[in-house]
Every structure is written in structure tokens, then in C-alpha cells.
Chain A
Amino acid sequence: MPSLKFTRREFLKLGAASAALAGAGCAPPAERIVPYANQPENALPGVPRFYASAASFVGGAEGMLIEANTGRPTKVEGNPAHPGSLGATSVQGQAAVLQLWDPERSKAPRRGGQPATRDALARELNDALGSLRAGEGVRVLIDGSTSPTLARQLELLGKRFPAARVHRWDPLEPVARREGGRLAFGRPLEPLVRLEEAGAILDLDSRFLEDHPFRLNYARQYARGREVRGGRMSRLYVFESAPSLAGAVADHRYAMPAHDIESWLVEGDRRQKAILEDLKKNRGVILAGESLSPQAHARVHRLNGELGASVSYVPPAQIDALPLPPLVEDMRAGRVKLLLILEGNPAYDAPADLAFAEALAAVPLSVHLSLYFDETSARSTWHVPATHFMEHWSDARAFDGTAAIVQPVIAPLYDGVSPHEMVSLVLQESRRGYDIVRETWRDIDWPAALRSGVVPESASRTVKVAPRSVDMPRAAPREGWSVRFVPDQSVLDGRFANNAWLQELPRSESKITWDNAALLSPASAKTLGVAVDDMLEISLGERRLLAPVWLVPGHADGTVTLALGYGRTHAGSVGNGVGFNAFLLRTSTSLWKAHGVSLRKAPGHHGFATTQNHARMEGRDLARHVRLEELVKKGKAWDEETPRHSLYKEWPYEGYRWAMVVSLNNCVGCNACTIACQAENNIPVVGREEVIAGREMHWIRVDRYYQQHDYGEVTLFQPVPCMHCENAPCEYVCPVEAAVHDSEGLNLQVYNRCVGTRFCSQNCPYKVRRFNFLQYSSHDENLKAQKNPEVTVRRRGVMEKCTYCVQRIQRARIEAEKANRRIADGEVITACQAACPTGAIVFGDLNDPGSAVNRAKRSPLEYDLLAELNTRPRTSYEGRVLNRNPDLHE
């Protein structure tokens, strides 16, 4: 080792230099301000702008207002003017903004998996189309698109290439509903129901609160019908073969395999008589779902006609096209020379018996337009990155036909094209997306349509038709196990598999995250000798599938429910290898249910990541409900009055007094609040392992409880945000005053004071505080762009929790103060409240006697959670009202 020898002088020089460097290192890094080079007109940095748009997730458009902060889309709000939204958003609508910023989206075209250019694609397409006369051998495969512009373009394509054919594959397509319409009316009409006018609803496995294209509208209407007016409210009967949200909130829930529902409809019993009687008396309506046969749908149409239900009929909003099977036949026979796949992922989600992926290999030139380089892209000749709906011009129809213009909020992040531009490329005209969409809507007030988010008077004309009577075959009694396929509540058919917000969103009933499961009833599990976490072998014919078991109380016996959309191999780092692929069992004849399944316990175990591990309330009155007759008789719902003790004088809240009421009567457990809060408040995802460790970060969770009563089992959903207690237990124990109260009653968490002792969380009886055990917030540049600039991004070691969206309160306050007025009621809408499809969350100022929150607080159903602790929560609840039919004694 060489000797290190300094002279005194050298030593001092080095010492001074290192001190100077250390000093310089401590100086904060210089931040840059980068103004616009050329400022767009009316741009106002620091003030978010909202752009009306729309997107389809389950077959019908949902209107949105997309919030952009200096050009970055950061949040989605519902569009109150749009019938598919009515101001609410779905979980997918909220998560769409994360999909936009997903760093794993496809960024460049590829040929045979290798990077290629769009020019090369255009050349190859031109050569192919030149050699195929009249488009012989040209096929286009579309997804469940509702775009009138795409329909117009495809018509144009048909004229240019008369031999070309357009097919459609949408894994969520309501085939039975449309076929039922065809049987009853001679064309594929779909029922559009005025749910709020119905005094009683009979839901036959329709899943109208989660899988229906009009789910947000229906949820709002349903909630209106549930309001107790003059001692009356609507009544909901649900027959379900798989757990559904409607089933959980139903007054009468009957779980049975799908074919039993159908035979019940044909054969009838004493129960049916009573239900139909009730429907007749109360202008009831019947909804039928996809697990029923078309004949059953036709029968339901007929019954609705007899009941005088307020139902009208509309043509499907989706583009009409040929089905998938003939296309696959042609592909296999070598009759398809050029296949253009416009979004969708058929190599993953097409019926297993068609073996689409195999057939795709026989097509000499296939072009797949897709947001991700997915299973289908990997097997196509060409993959072309698609633009996200927030990046392109398009249009979409809601379930009732109302059209909305889809406008871009940001320039394409990558080298993507829209479906319209893709078709335009095939038509060899290469027009811009804007021009193509504009041409479809030449005759409307374009700026007004963009501003409001709907094209006025574009709804389909409802058809008044009398249904024909259709014979419904008496179903043969069936033995053995059934399987029921359902779209996953979060990732649907798998297109959102790479979306971490949706993966980590606990499914309403099972509370499972990052997984799907074979859902069984406890009785079925006993028969099979399996328990939670055991593996189950499900075989249907020659197809076999291994799935871990999860038990759901109230699940139908003799049937297993499998959620689609999992077991992806090309989804991205978030979605790959999560769960099992139920599409492997799904065939073109058994799209939603199958019979003759054999179930067998298989070796192995699985660990689920769930967020709620106990389903009973153990005698405490956390989520309350009351029966309508009791409420009417007593005039109040709860017996005891909570005593309020204090040694201290009341604090005078002079300005505003913020408070929230969550109505369990309206809540349907859809989770929209949880994910809206996540988007608004920069809440990170933690991943599967951390969820298992109980470290999920959601500021508002939806608890689910089962309660056994002599009148049956009741399922209750209870959204739990921070209660903002006036006597907040968290505040006493914080050693650094990071948990403090403000003068308007908000219980604050001051991040820059917090040192992470976690005493507050320990002392919180509601367990709503969340701790950043690790650095959960991503430093990825893309994901940073999604963040709400109005909310601090928390770092490791900091406690956080619901703030009542204090940033929204402050924004409203600043605007009000500038105008020298008070904040008006309804001016501050929290993120959860805005997203809620049923209006279950009310927020406002208690000091304003006329405010909506004051009205809600006066409701006889109102109660405080754990009131006996004397925490005096600002967030309170309205209990659920159960409207049981007294003629049904079970």
C-alpha cells in the first residue's frame, strides 16, 4: 500500500476544498420555470381544464370530463349531461387515465416482433391490396366499438372493396339479449328500462349494476327508487348464478345455477306467484341476463309487456358486423389474405374451441392495432400501436344511442394511430383522425357538441313493439356441476390487466386483490372437500384448468364462478401471470355458462391477497340496516341515542363545518369511490405482497359484512373514509403534532411534520390511516405525469389518510373569497362523491342550515360509526332500508 503522506499545507487545502464541496452540495438544486414558447389561447397554467369525452368499457359509452393540468390528463370526472354517466364514473373510467400513462404501452410498430416503420406498413398494405382484386380475402375484425365514424368508414371500405368482410368479436357481447330481441321482435332490439319508475324489480342474473352498458345510469335510477318516500320504496328481487352487486343489495336474494333460474322462469312456483303479484301491483319490471337463453329473454319481454313495465326498446349501439366463427373458418381454410384487427385481443379472449391463435398463423398478412403489444400482436405479422382514447378523435354511442365526440386531451405520447386513421390507411387515403370524425358530424353544432360532451338529439328512437310469444322449452333437469363465467369486476375481459389501480382494487364481495378465484359456496366446498386456498381442477370436456378456491357465502350451490381477464402472458409487468385464464374453458356455445363440469381437488395451495379477512360484525352495529315496516311503524330506525360527554366547552366552529354522510341505502359496493380517491389524491399502489402484509393504501375502503337474521342473510357494503372525529383519538397520541385539527373541523395529517411513529394509526378505532412503509410512489416519469399537482406526493415513512379532498375545499374557498362570498352548497364535491353512481356520498357545510349534508344528517336513518367511543365523527352513515315482501315467508 502506498503511503499517504500530506504536508500540513496540502492537508489544509484538501480540507478546505471538501468543506466547500460539502457546502455546495447542501444548496438546493436550482429549479427551472419553463413557460410556453408559443402559448395556446386562453391557457392558464395552474387552473385545470376539463374536456368532454367518452369511452366504452362494457359495450356502451360513458361520458366523461377529463381534467387536464397544463395539458396533462390527470383525472376523469363523469359528465352529468351524458346519459351513460349522469355525472358518475365507473372504476374503469377512473383507471383509464393510468392506462394512458402506462409506461408499458406499445410505442412503435413492429413487424414479426421487430421494430419497423409505418411507411413499410403502408407499402406492404398497398402491395397486398393491389394484388387482391375487389378486396377478395380482405377481412376486418372489430371489437365492441360503438363509433358511428368507424361504422361509416367500414361502409366505405365495403364499397371500395366489395368482397371484403367485417367481423366482430367482443368477449363481453350480450348475445342472448340481442337474440332474445330478435326472437321477440324480429330484430335484435334491447330493452331500455326506466328503473326509477319501477316499484319492484325482478333481476334474473342480469348484473345490471356491473356489466350492463347503462350501468351508471341504472345505478342512479335504482338509487332514486330506493329513497323512502311516504313509507314506500322500490323492492329488488335477485336471482343470480354468480355473486353480483345487485344480489348483494337485494331485498330478496336467490342464488342458484343459471339453468335453475331458467327452469324456475318456465315452471314457476308459489314464490314466483307472489313476486309476479308484487310486480303487477307496483309497476314492476323484469331484467334478464346473459346466462339466460334467448328464449328466456323473449319470455321476459312478453312478461314485461303484460306487467305494463316502463320499458322501451332500442337497437344495439355497437356496430353491426358478422360474427367471429365464420372468420376463423375462412382463416383456417386459407381464404383470408389480409386480416386487419382493430383493437381487441382475440388470440387471448376468443372462444377456446375456435383456436383463433392457431388460425391466425395461417393468415399471410395480419395487422393488429392495439394499445399494448399483447397476445394477438405477438402472433400477427404487424403490430401497430393504437392511440389511447385521450389521444385521438373519435365518437361513441351510449346504450340508448346518444352519441358523444371523443376528443383528444393530449397529443399522442407514442407513435400511435387511431382506428379511424388505420382504416383510412387501408382505404389508401391517409386522412387525419380529426377530418374523418368531423365528416361524420358535418351537420351538427360541433363546438357545442364538444363543450357539452353529447350530440343533441342523437339518442336512438325507441321502438314501440309488441313482443311475440315464444315457446320456451322446458329445461331438462340437470345433474352435476355448472360453471359460470363473469367479466372481472376490475379488469373486465383482461384489457385492464396491466392497470395496477384496478388490480389492487378489492373485488366487492370477495375482497380479493391481484387475483381471480374459483368462487364456490361453502356448501359446495364441503361437498368437494376443498377449502379456501386449495387448488381446484375444473374440467369441461377435454379442457382443464387449475384454479384456487375462494368461498363466498350466499354463492349458488352446485356451480363455480370464474372471472375472465386473468392469466395474461403479454399484458405487461403488472398483469402478466396474475391469476388463471378462464377463457381456456370458454367456448362459443358456452359463453357465459357451461354444464357438465367436473370439479376435483388438486394438489397445491395458493395465497390470496385480500383486504378484509373477517366478514361478521360480531355483535357490533357497524353497518346497520332496518326493515321498512319497522321504520314506518316507529318513525325512527335506531333505538338508542348516543350520549355525548365532554369536560370541555364546545369548540365554536364559526366559518365552515365540513361533514360527510354516506348512505348505505344507496351504496351498491361498486368501488368507484375508492379508485376515484386514488386518482385524485396520488395514492400509490403497493403490490400483492404488501397487500398480504395489510399495507394497502386506499383512503376510502368499502367494507363488506354478512349478517344472519331470521329473515335471511343480509350483505352490507360500507365505505369507510376518515371519520374526521371532533375528538380524534389520533391527535392525542402524535408526539410531533402531525395529526391536528383545523378550525373547520378537518382532521389534518401534516406530512412534513410526520416522523412515522404510527401511534395515530394504532389509536384510530376506524383503521383508516395508511402508512408508507416503503417508497410506494413511483419515480417513473410517465406515472409522475398523472399525479394531481394539487396534492403532495407522500414519501416513505409518512402517515396519510382521507383529507375530505382539502385541495378541492381550498380551490372553492379561494374562488369564493375572491368574489367575497361564502362557498355555496354543492360547490365542494369530493372525489368519491363525484364518482359515486348512486349519490351515496353527500358532503358539505354543517353551518349552512340548508345544505344537503344537513338534510342527510337529519335523516332518521343517520347514525355514527362506533358512537360509543365518543369520537364524535363528522362522517356519519345512513343505514340501509330493507324492503322485504311480507307475502314471501321463507
Chain B
Amino acid sequence: MPQVFHPPLLLGLKLALAAVVLVATALWLLVYKALPAHSGPLTPQQPIPFSHKHHAGDDGIDCRYCHYSVETSAFAGIPSNEVCLTCHSQLFNDAATLEPLRDSARTGRPIAWVRVHDLPDFVFFNHSIHVAKGVGCVECHGRVDRMPRIERVASLEMQWCLGCHRDPVPRLRPPEKVFDMASQPPRDPKARAALVARLHLLPTRHMTDCSTCHR
């Protein structure tokens, strides 16, 4: 029987195998990077096509009007029917897209929104302390006032959290600017120093302790 695997064929096969492995790894990495585990879908379909651009951007409604507990609780708060109906009992009160809202008000069954910013269950994030220490909404949520449909702009991976916890100052702004989407953190070293003095920041050593976020 003649030899089946000639050296050139063997080399070709080896190269092809290596290429397959490389391509598979690259593809896997690509997918992995695009969809970090457990951070939630990037921009899912919601029960009501709620536009932050319209409400927060065009109408200029303050974040805290709906996200009422962002300064006091770990959870920022999702508005109940009454909050929506403050306006929508008058405005667009017969719009077809608001049917889930009217239905909820009728039946008392809440609207189940799809979570966009989803942290793993072993991470304990607290909105109120971040807001109190000058982390603007825009730092993690992006320009929500320009999003017709809410989308996730940050990876929400631990690496990303630590980026700020290791060196928070360049990303902090004065408390009065926290809810201002268009504001920028101060760049001037003097202003930064004044801000740090005002915010009473914890030592970064503690902010990178495991116990800060994991319990």
C-alpha cells in the first residue's frame, strides 16, 4: 500500500488544524467580549417602548423624578403606575403603546421591565453611596438623555468597576452635577483637590477590598 500521508500533505493538515484552533479562539473571544456574562442584554425590547431621550433629554425631567430612591437606597427605584400616570392620564392617554400601563393601572398587576444593567447575584452595588460621592449617572449609564431605547454602554465587568475604584478622582464631579448628563468632571488639578476634600473619599485601599462589593 502506498503511503497516504506525504510530508507536504501532513504539513498542510497541521497548518489547517492550527488555523481552525486560532479562528475558533478568536471567534470565542469576540463573542465573549461582546456579551459579558450576566451583564444583561445590551438593548432589549421593553413592554413599553419608553424613550429616555424624550423624557430626560427633550422634556428635561430629572432622573430622580422616576428613580426616586437613587439617593437613599441601594436600588435606584423604578416608577410605579402613579408616577407615569401623573402625566399620562392626560398626555397620550389613549396611545396604543401605553396599553400595558393602562392595563397595569386597571388590574394592579405591575409592568415587568427587562433589566438592562444586571450584575451577578454575588455583587452588591449601592446607588446611593455612588451618587453621594459624586459619581454621575452618565459615568455608568452613558448619555441616557440621548437614548430613544435604553442601552447598556458599560461592560459592568469587575475590571471595569475596579478601573474607577482604583482611581476614582478623575471621574467624580460635584454633587450638584451628578444628575447633569452634559456635565464633565473637573480637569483642573485645583478644582479636583477641592472636590476630593469636599467628598471625604475612602482610602482606595479599602475601595478595592473584596468585601466592598462581595458579601
Interface residues of A (CB under 8 A from B): 23, 26-28, 30-39, 44-47, 654-655, 740, 742-744, 746, 748, 750-752, 790-793, 803, 806-807, 809-810, 814, 817-818, 820
Contact = CB atoms under 8 A, between A and B. Distances in A.
Interface residues of B, number: 51
Interface of B: 31, 35, 37-41, 44, 69, 72-75, 77-82, 104-105, 107-115, 118, 120-122, 124, 126, 128-129, 132-133, 200, 202-203, 205-206, 209-212, 214-215
Contact of A748 (B81, B118, B129, B210): B210
Contacts of B108: 37-38
Contacts of A26: 35
26 contacts: A27-B41, A28-B41, A30-B115, A31-B40, A32-B113, A33-B78, A33-B112, A34-B111, A37-B111, A38-B80, A45-B69, A46-B73, A46-B74, A47-B73, A743-B205, A743-B206, A744-B206, A744-B211, A748-B209, A790-B215, A792-B214, A803-B211, A807-B215, A814-B126, A814-B128, A817-B202
A33 B124 contact: no
Given A35-B78, A817-B200, A817-B202, 18 more contacts: A28-B118, A32-B114, A33-B112, A33-B113, A34-B110, A35-B111, A37-B108, A38-B80, A38-B108, A46-B74, A47-B72, A655-B202, A744-B211, A792-B122, A793-B121, A806-B215, A814-B128, A814-B129
Nearest to B110: A37
A810 B212 contact: yes
Contacts of A30: 40-41, 44, 114-115
B196 to A, nearest CB: 13
A795 B196 CA distance: 40
Nearest to A793: B121
A814 B212 CA distance: 10
A655 B203 contact: yes
Contact of B82 (A28, A38, A809): A38
B205 A792 contact: no
Contacts of B132: 817-818
A27 B42 CA distance: 11
A803 B81 contact: no
Nearest to A37: B110
B103 to A, nearest CB: 10
A32 B112 contact: yes
A405 B77 CA distance: 32
A790 B80 CA distance: 24
A34 B112 contact: yes
A793 B72 CA distance: 25
Contact of A810 (B105, B122, B200, B215): B215
Contacts of A47: 69, 72-74
What 3 A-B pairs have minimum CB-CB distances, sorted nearest first? A46-B75, A46-B73, A742-B209
A751 B38 contact: no
A818 B82 contact: no
A37 B105 CA distance: 7
B129 A817 contact: yes
A35 B76 CA distance: 11
B80 A654 contact: no
Contacts of B69: 44-47
A793 B121 CA distance: 9
A39 B118 CA distance: 23
A683 B122 CA distance: 15
A866 B200 CA distance: 40
Contacts of A820: 200
